[in-house]
Amino acid sequence: MVLTATVLLHVHQYSQLEQDMKQLLDMKEELETERDTYKSKYNRLNKEVNFIMRGDEKHVVDIDALIMENK
C-alpha cells in the first residue's frame, strides 16, 4: 500500500515536471522571438539613421554606441 502511494506520488511529480518543462520551453521560444524582433528593429533603425545622415563615413551613427553614451 505504501509502495503504491509512493509510486503514485512520483508519477504525479514527474507529470508536474514535464508540464513545467513544457512551459519553460514555451517561454524560452517567446523570449527568443521577442529578442529577434528587437534585433531586427535595431538593425532597421541603424540603417535609417545612417541613411538620414547620408551614409557619410564621418557621420555614420552606431545607435548602440549612442545609447551607451547617454546612459
pLDDT tens digits, the chain, 71 residues: what are they?
667 888 888 898 999 999 999 999 999 999 999 999 999 998 888 888 878 877 666 666 677 777 777 66
pTM greater than 0.85 (yes/no):
no
CA-to-CA distance for 28 and 31, rounded, in angstroms?
A: 5
Cβ neighbours of 30 (radius 10 Å): 10
Domain ranges (residues) in the chain: 38-71
Q: What is the number of alpha carbons within 13 Å of residue 71 lying toward its C-beta?
A: 6
pLDDT at residue number 55: 66
Q: Which of 46, 38, 40, 41 is nearest to 66 (CA)?
A: 46
Residue with cell 553614451: 69
pLDDT at residue number 36: 94
